[in-house]
Structure 1
Amino acid sequence: MHGCSWGERLRDDRYTLAPLEKRGRTLVRKARTVFVGRQHETEELLAGLEEVVGGHGRLFVIDGEPGIGKTRLAEELAVHAPEHGALVLWSRCWKASQAPAYWPWVQLVRACLRAAQGSEIISLAEPAISDIAQILPEACESLCEPGLRPNPAPSDPEQARFRLFDAICTIFRIASNARPLVLVLDDLGAADRASLLLLSFFVRELHHCRILVVVTYRDAEVRGSLALAEAIGDLAREGTHIRLRGLDDRQVGELIEAETGERPDAQALAAVCCATGGNPFFVQSIAKLVPVQDLACIARKWPETRRMRLANGLAAAVGAHLAPLSERAKKLLVVAAVAGREFQAEVLETATGLEREALYAALSQAEDYGLISEFPDSPGRYRFVHSLVADTLYEGLTSVERARLHIRIGEALEAIAGQGSNAPLAELARHFFEGARAGGYERALHYAEIAAGRATAMSAFEEAARFYQMALASIKMTAKVDEHRRCELMLMMGEAQNRCADYMGARDTFVQAAELAARLGSLEMLAHAALGYPGLQWDVSPDGNQQAIELLERALRAFPERDDPWRAMLMARLASELYHRPSAAGRREKLSRRAVEMARKIGDQRALLAILGHRDLTLSGPDTLQARLANAHEMMQVAEKIGSEIGRYMAFLSRAICYRHLGDVRKAEAEAEAMGMVARMTRLPVCNWGTQCFAACRGLMEGRYSEAEESARECLKFAQRMRGCEADDLFWPAMIDTMREQGRLAELEPMAARTVERCPAQPAFRALHALVNCGLGRKQLARADFELLAAHDFTDLPRDNTFLACAVALAQVCAALEDRTRAEQLIRLLSPYADLNAVFGPLASFGSMARYLGILAVTACRFDEAENWFRKALAFNGRMNARPYLASTLVDYAEMLIRKGSQRDFAKATEFLASAQEISEAVGMRALAYRIDEIARRTASASANAAVSEVPERKVVNGAAAGAEQAPRAPRARVLELVAGRGPRRAGISEPGSLSSDTSHAAVSDDAANHAIFRRDGDYWTISYEGKVFRLKHLKGLDCLAYLLSHPATEVHSSGLAAVMNKLPSGDGPAVLDSQGDGGSAADLGDAGPILDDKAKNSYRHRLMELREELEQAKRIGDLGRAERAEREIDFVTEELSRAVGLGGRDRRAASAVERARLSVTKAIKSVVAKISQYDRELGDHLSTTVRTGTFCSYKPDPRYPIVWKLD
Structure 2
Amino acid sequence: MPDLIGRDHPAATLRGAVERALTSHGSLVLVTGEAGVGKSALVAEAAGHARRAGARVLSAACWEGEGTPGYWPWIQIGRRLGADLLDGAGSAFELYDAVTARLVAASRERPVVVVLEDLHWADPASLKLLDFVVRHAWFERLLVVGTAREGEAELPADLKATTLALTGLDRDEVGELVARTAGREPGPGLVAEIHRRTGGNPFFVEQTARLWQGGSPLETIPPGVGAAIDRRLSRLSADTLDILRTAAVLGGEFDEETLSRALGRPVASPLGQAAAAGLVAPLGPGRSAFVHDLVRETLYAGLPGDDRRARHAAALAALGDALPAERAHHAYLAASPDAAGLLLDAARDAGARLSDEEAVGHYRRALELVPDAAARADLQLDLGTTLHRLGDDAGGRAQIEAATETARALDDPDLLARVALKLYSAGHPEFAGEAHRRLLDGDTVRMEEVAGELNALATSRARLGTDDQALGEALMTGLVAIWGPGTARERLAIAEELSAVAERSGDVRLRLQALSWRAACTLELGDPAHLSVHRALTELSERSGLPLFVHDAALSGARLALLTGDFAEVRRLAEVIRELGEQPYVGRDDLRWTQLCSVALLQGRFDELDTVLGEMREARSPHFPLYNAVCAVQLGDADGAVRHLAEIMAAGEPYLRWMAPLWLRFQAQAAALSKDPELCRRARAAIAPYAGQWAITGSIGVDGPYTLWIAVIDAALGHLDAAEAGFTEARRQAEALGAWPWAVEARARLIEVLAARGEDVSEAAEEVEHDAARLGMLVRLPRRGSHVFRREGEVWTLAFGGRTVHLPDAKGLRDLHVLLGRPGAELPAVSLLNPAGGAEVVAARTLGGDDVLDETAKADYRRRLELLDEEIDAAALLGDQRRAAEYDAERQALLDELRRASGLGGRARRLGDEAERARKAVTNRIRNTLRQLDERHPELAAHLRECVSTGAVCRYQPTTPVTWTL
Please report the TM-score for the alignment, with normalisation by the length of structure 2. Answer: 0.55
Counterpart of 2:590 in structure 1 is 729
Counting only pairs closer than 5 Å after superposition, residues 811-890 of structure 1 correspond to structure 2 as: 811-890=668-747
Tell me the CA shift for residue 263 of structure 1.
14
**Partners of 1:887 and 1:1200 in 2: CA distance:** 36
**Partners of 1:1200 and 1:509 in 2: CA distance:** 74
Counterpart of 1:561 in structure 2 is 412
Tell me the CA shift for residue 854 of structure 1.
1.9
Counting only pairs closer than 5 Å after superposition, residues 151-162 of structure 1 correspond to structure 2 as: none
Counterpart of 1:577 in structure 2 is 426
Contact 1:260/1:292, CA 8 A, preserved across alignment:
no
Q: Does 1:601 align with 2:464?
A: yes
Contact 2:380/2:400, CA 8 A, preserved across alignment:
no
Please report the TM-score for the alignment, with normalisation by the length of structure 1. Answer: 0.45
Counterpart of 1:998 in structure 2 is 804
Instruction: Give a deviation string over 1:426-474, Cα, whole Å, max 9, x none.
Output: 1489447744997668489649956995998665567779x689x88xx
Secondary structure, counterpart of 2:738 in structure 1: coil
**Partners of 1:368 and 1:846 in 2: CA distance:** 74
Secondary structure, counterpart of 1:395 in structure 2: helix
Contact 1:403/1:436, CA 8 A, preserved across alignment:
no
Contact 2:633/2:670, CA 8 A, preserved across alignment:
yes
Task: Give the aligned residue type for 1:874.
Answer: R
Task: Give the aligned residue type for 1:829.
Answer: A
Q: Structure 1 residues 419, 992: CA separation in 2 closer, same or farther (over 3 Å shift)?
A: farther
Instruction: Give a deviation string over 1:862-912, Cα, whole Å, max 9, x none.
Output: 323222221111111111111111112222222232233x2xx22xx3243
**Partners of 1:590 and 1:596 in 2: CA distance:** 10
Counting only pairs closer than 5 Å after superposition, residues 1004-1043 of structure 1 correspond to structure 2 as: 1007-1009=819-821
Contact 2:384/2:396, CA 8 A, preserved across alignment:
no
Contact 1:256/1:263, CA 8 A, preserved across alignment:
no
Percent identity, aligned pairs only?
17
Q: Does 1:403 align with 2:226?
A: yes
Q: Does 1:809 align with 2:633?
A: no
Counting only pairs closer than 5 Å after superposition, residues 661-700 of structure 1 correspond to structure 2 as: 661-665=524-528, 667-700=529-562
| Bigger mean CA deviation after superposition, 712-721 or 446-455 | 446-455
Contact 1:775/1:993, CA 8 A, preserved across alignment:
no
Counterpart of 1:13 in structure 2 is none
Contact 1:774/1:782, CA 8 A, preserved across alignment:
yes
Tell me the CA shift for residue 605 of structure 1.
2.2
Counterpart of 2:627 in structure 1 is 768
Q: Structure 1 residues 865, 686: CA separation in 2 closer, same or farther (over 3 Å shift)?
A: same
Task: Give the aligned residue type for 1:556.
Answer: A
Instruction: Give a deviation string over 1:902-951, Cα, whole Å, max 9, x none.
Output: 2xx22xx32431231221122122x22xx23xx23xx3537xxxxxxxxx
**Partners of 1:895 and 1:719 in 2: CA distance:** 43
**Partners of 2:321 and 2:157 in 1: CA distance:** 35
**Partners of 2:391 and 2:661 in 1: CA distance:** 16
**Partners of 1:494 and 1:802 in 2: CA distance:** 29
Contact 1:569/1:595, CA 8 A, preserved across alignment:
yes
Contact 1:811/1:855, CA 8 A, preserved across alignment:
yes
Tell me the CA shift for residue 837 of structure 1.
0.9
Tell me the CA shift for residue 570 of structure 1.
4.8
Counterpart of 2:771 in structure 1 is 919
Counterpart of 1:423 in structure 2 is 247
Secondary structure, counterpart of 1:692 in structure 2: helix
Q: Structure 1 residues 528, 408: CA separation in 2 closer, same or farther (over 3 Å shift)?
A: farther
Contact 1:596/1:612, CA 8 A, preserved across alignment:
yes
Task: Give the aligned residue type for 2:251.
Answer: A
Contact 1:616/1:628, CA 8 A, preserved across alignment:
yes
Q: Structure 1 residues 619, 740: CA separation in 2 closer, same or farther (over 3 Å shift)?
A: closer
Contact 1:767/1:810, CA 8 A, preserved across alignment:
no
**Partners of 1:742 and 1:654 in 2: CA distance:** 28
Counterpart of 2:786 in structure 1 is 941
Q: Structure 1 residues 538, 326: CA separation in 2 closer, same or farther (over 3 Å shift)?
A: closer
Q: Structure 1 residues 458, 912: CA separation in 2 closer, same or farther (over 3 Å shift)?
A: same
Contact 2:798/2:805, CA 8 A, preserved across alignment:
no
Tell me the CA shift for residue 702 of structure 1.
0.9
Contact 1:433/1:440, CA 8 A, preserved across alignment:
no
Q: Give the number of equivalent residue pairs.
A: 662
Instruction: Give a deviation string over 1:1071-1126, Cα, whole Å, max 9, x none.
Output: xx97999xxxxxxxxxxxxxxxxxxxxxxxxxxxxxxxxxxxxxxxxxxxxxxxxx
Tell me the CA shift for residue 710 of structure 1.
0.5
Indicate the structure (1 or 2) with the bigger Cα radius of gyration: 2
**Partners of 2:300 and 2:503 in 1: CA distance:** 51
Q: Does 1:619 align with 2:503?
A: no
Counting only pairs closer than 5 Å after superposition, residues 780-799 of structure 1 correspond to structure 2 as: 782-791=641-650
Contact 1:568/1:595, CA 8 A, preserved across alignment:
yes
| Structure 2 gap segments, 5+ residues each | 24-40, 55-112, 123-147, 169-195, 211-221, 253-289, 431-444, 808-812, 842-888, 901-917, 936-943, 954-966
Secondary structure, counterpart of 1:845 in structure 2: strand
Match for residue 718 of structure 1 among 560, 563, 580: 580
Match for residue 328 of structure 1 among 111, 118, 122: 118
Q: Does 1:369 align with 2:163?
A: yes
Contact 2:353/2:548, CA 8 A, preserved across alignment:
no
Contact 1:680/1:688, CA 8 A, preserved across alignment:
yes
Counterpart of 1:290 in structure 2 is 49
**Partners of 1:558 and 1:542 in 2: CA distance:** 24
Q: Structure 1 residues 357, 633: CA separation in 2 closer, same or farther (over 3 Å shift)?
A: closer
**Partners of 1:781 and 1:540 in 2: CA distance:** 36
Q: Which has the higher contact order (CA 8 A, sep 6+)?
A: 1
Counterpart of 2:354 in structure 1 is 501
Secondary structure, counterpart of 2:590 in structure 1: helix
Secondary structure, counterpart of 1:423 in structure 2: helix
Across the aligned residues of Structure 1 and Structure 2, the Cα RMSD in angstroms comes to: 6.2
Tell me the CA shift for residue 66 of structure 1.
6.6
**Partners of 2:389 and 2:803 in 1: CA distance:** 35
Counting only pairs closer than 5 Å after superposition, residues 1058-1073 of structure 1 correspond to structure 2 as: none
Q: Structure 1 residues 623, 364: CA separation in 2 closer, same or farther (over 3 Å shift)?
A: farther
Q: Structure 1 residues 1013, 897: CA separation in 2 closer, same or farther (over 3 Å shift)?
A: same
Counterpart of 1:34 in structure 2 is none
Contact 2:451/2:481, CA 8 A, preserved across alignment:
yes
Task: Give the aligned residue type for 1:503.
Answer: D
Tell me the CA shift for residue 848 of structure 1.
1.2
**Partners of 2:730 and 2:688 in 1: CA distance:** 13
Counting only pairs closer than 5 Å after superposition, residues 195-594 of structure 1 correspond to structure 2 as: 290=49, 326-328=116-118, 359-361=153-155, 368-372=162-166, 390-397=200-207, 399-406=222-229, 415-416=239-240, 418=242, 423=247, 425-427=250-252, 430-431=293-294, 434-435=297-298, 442=305, 446=309, 459=322, 494=347, 497-507=350-360, 510=363, 514=367, 523-531=374-382, 549-550=400-401, 552-557=403-408, 559=410, 561=412, 570=419, 573-577=422-426, 584-594=447-457
Q: Structure 1 residues 355, 922: CA separation in 2 closer, same or farther (over 3 Å shift)?
A: closer
Contact 1:820/1:860, CA 8 A, preserved across alignment:
yes
Task: Give the aligned residue type for 1:924.
Answer: G
Contact 2:383/2:399, CA 8 A, preserved across alignment:
no
**Partners of 1:366 and 1:494 in 2: CA distance:** 58
**Partners of 1:889 and 1:546 in 2: CA distance:** 48
Instruction: Give a deviation string over 1:254-304, Cα, whole Å, max 9, x none.
Output: 99989967999xxxxxxxxxxxxxxxxx99998897369979xxxxxxxxx
**Partners of 1:858 and 1:544 in 2: CA distance:** 53
